[in-house]
Structure 1
Amino acid sequence: MMLNSLESNTTYQSNVARDELVSVLTKEIEAKELAKRAKNLQGNPLALGRTYIRILEAGGHLGC
């Protein structure tokens, strides 16, 4: 019984650590993709407006 409790606790902690790592990596990848889109669309004013909207929707800010 004690072993089951220890195993459950260890599994839970491992899952939490994994979820935190995945969350951080996902946010980094999304930020890089948004930056890449913004750079690629700098010459197109209409597309640039859509990029800003996507940044805002993703929880970013425009630095204003």
Structure 2
Amino acid sequence: MKTRIWTVGRFPAGVWSGDGSRNDPDYSECEVYLIPAENLDKAKKKAQAFRACLEEGQ
């Protein structure tokens, strides 16, 4: 499968969304991650793992 860059956003309520433009107004209150992955589900999991690592470092 081919890898592409996915836009993944985490809303303040904890809901994860993806595949919009990083400049989309819907993402204005989100944490936004650009993740290389084969599909959106994998991109969300990678973004969640990345965020967990950031939280552990605080």
- Taking structure 2 as the reference length, the TM-score comes to 0.34
Give the structure with the higher percent strand: 2
Structure number with greater Rg is 1
Q: Say which structure, 1 or 2, has more relative contact order (CA 8 Å, 6+ apart).
A: 2
TM-score of the aligned structures, taking structure 1 as reference length: 0.31
Which structure carries more helix by proportion?
1
